[in-house]
Structure 1
Amino acid sequence: MTQQPSLFISHGAPTLVLDASPARDFLERLGTQLERPKAILIISAHFDARNPTLTSGAAPRTIHDFGGFGPEMHAMQYPAPGDPELAERAAAMLRASGLDAVTDGERGLDHGAWVPLKLAYPEADIPVVQLSISMNQSPEWHYRLGQAIAPLRDEGVLIIGSGGTTHNLRAFFTGSYKIDSDAPEWVTLFSEWVAEKVAANDRGALIEAVEQGPMARQNHPSMDHILPFFVALGAGGEGAGERLHQSTTYGVLAMDAYRFGGEVAAQLSSLDYGLPKD
């Protein structure tokens, strides 16, 4: 069985699933270019719990955890099966690493999970388990969370952190940005710094990104959307990662995607995923 990678993807606004954009095009191609995983373990910025919590229901519901959108968004469903056995196995791995993990058989998949998965795997026929972040914990703690579940990749489980390379909603709502607006400098400075540190495999700097990165606090006034990045980084092994996609939506939302580890690296690297040409 081919080792699956660990990915970090930026999911942007919920309407990513509807609106034409380079990020949407990337995600629509992504699932066709990876070896089909046995299951998907996804860490979303929109599932916050004090203890690491894994969805363990056999048929997780689609959660419409947003407002202000039309009926089409609220009618969307992503009826992927759950994987109670995987949830229990991942919880046991986390407990063995000293993390007090629990399972939740009632919680479904929030839009940070089902929106990108609906684009990458529209058939909804791959089992999905969602893992929480903890806003009361540090980037180092989330990195360790990823390290604990990394062996699942050898079992055919695709690990995905779903958040945002940048995510300042105050700037989004108070600005006059359109979906195709150019990114302001403060967004570009931070997103390019992250890309450089990923390429250099500077994990120390990446774990301290919100402290060390240029304009980091302006890009992440809240930590929720960057925390899944640290889980994906920890789950990806020790080698350097790779940026697979670069774009922005609404100017302030950097939609970059990264790969960490996995035997499919050469295949992914050979594809045109919207990166700028030299």
Structure 2
Amino acid sequence: MYPTLFLAHGTPLLAAEDLPYTRFLRNLGRHLPRPEGIVVVSAHWESPLQLISGASRHETMHDFFGYPEEAYAVTYPGQGDILLSLQIRKELAAEGIASEIDDARGLDHGVWSLLHWMYPAADIPVVALSVHPRLAPEEPYRIGQALHALRDKGILVIGSGGTVHNPPLLQWDSSMVDRWALEFDEWLGERIGVWDLESLFDYENRAPHAKLAAPTREHLYPLFLAMGLADRKRKARLLHQEYQYGSLSLTGWMFG
């Protein structure tokens, strides 16, 4: 049974940076069993209906502006897998969850910034899933539960987001970590470790500095979906944690 992952994708520059975190991603890809396919839930694909990518060959999307040119030079020519896309839609429908396949969607930086390091050959089929940022946290968890069978089929599911993500508060020249970011991450990590869903689903009210650390939901949505996939084997392991720019959390979790 394949584990599921939650990985921070940082900024679009992540694919061009030599960091402890990017070295961690490279080693993670080398040490995991080679998957039959990869499903990435990206915080940068928002939609009111659950969408599933269905392209046979993905274009690399540079879905950002104002970054140095090296961020725009990255390409990831990932192939799709329509049979996997259809399987995901079938699994969701069986649990009463509506979805559609989008055969025009490419791979945004929430997808390729991670896969660039983990699977640089781009020779494993990739399917992307969207997020609905206005759903309560229970809903992405339920979507993850509906997709649990993927783990038995050699499919690696990655939730791509960030535990602390507030771009306007980034300090691009800072080597220090903001205390509020540390305190939020510490609270979150403790609850993830004991699978305290009641507290996690109510993080907006219970977590310290939640409005600073996660002012919107979309970057935590992939975390809850990844945990939902591992609901039948509730084990969590923190693989890596570091920070950039004062508060941007670069965190890796494994579930199941």
Normalising by the smaller structure, the TM-score range is over 0.9
In 2: Cα distance, 1:166 partner to 1:73 partner: 21
Deviating runs (4+, > 6 A) in structure 1? none
3-state SS of the aligned residue for 2:147?
helix
What's the CA shift for 1:140?
0.7
2:131 aligned residue: 133
Contact 2:159/2:226 (<8 A) preserved: yes
Residue 255 (structure 1) aligned with residue 253 (structure 2): no
Q: CA deviation at 1:250?
A: 1.0
Indicate the residue corresponding to 1:244 in structure 2.
239
Matched letter for residue 106 of structure 1: A
Q: Which moved more, 1:160-169 or 1:201-210?
A: 201-210
In 2, distance between residues paired with 1:95 and 1:75?
Answer: 38
> Any conservation in 2 of the 1:92–1:101 contact (CA below 8 Å)?
no
Q: Give, in angstroms, the shift of residue 208 of structure 1.
A: 2.0
Instruction: State the 1:7 CA deviation.
Output: 0.4
Offset, 1:146:
0.7
Report SS of the residue matched to 1:255.
Answer: strand
TM-score by length of 1: 0.89
Partners of 1:93 and 1:29 in 2: how far apart? 31
Aligned to 1:147: 145
The gaps in structure 1 that reach 5 residues or longer are 262-278
Give the counterpart of 1:189 among 151, 171, 183.
Answer: 183
2-structure distance, mates of 1:211, 1:87: 36
Report how many residues are paired. Answer: 255
Of stretches 207-216 and 104-113 in structure 1, the one that deviates more from structure 2 is 207-216
Q: Which moved more, 1:237-246 or 1:30-39?
A: 237-246
Query: Following the alignment from structure 1 to structure 2, what is the Cα–Cα distance between the partners of residues 96 and 202?
Result: 27
1:212 aligned to 2:210?
no
TM-score, normalisation: structure 2: 0.96
Which whole-Å CA distance do the structure 2 matches of 1:156 and 1:246 have between them?
26
Structure 1 or 2: more strand by fraction: 2
1:99 equivalent among 97, 100, 110 = 97
- 1:200 paired residue among 169, 176, 194: 194
For residues 147 and 231 of structure 2, the distance between their equivalents in structure 1, rounded to whole angstroms, comes to 11
1:157 aligns with one of 155, 158, 164: 155
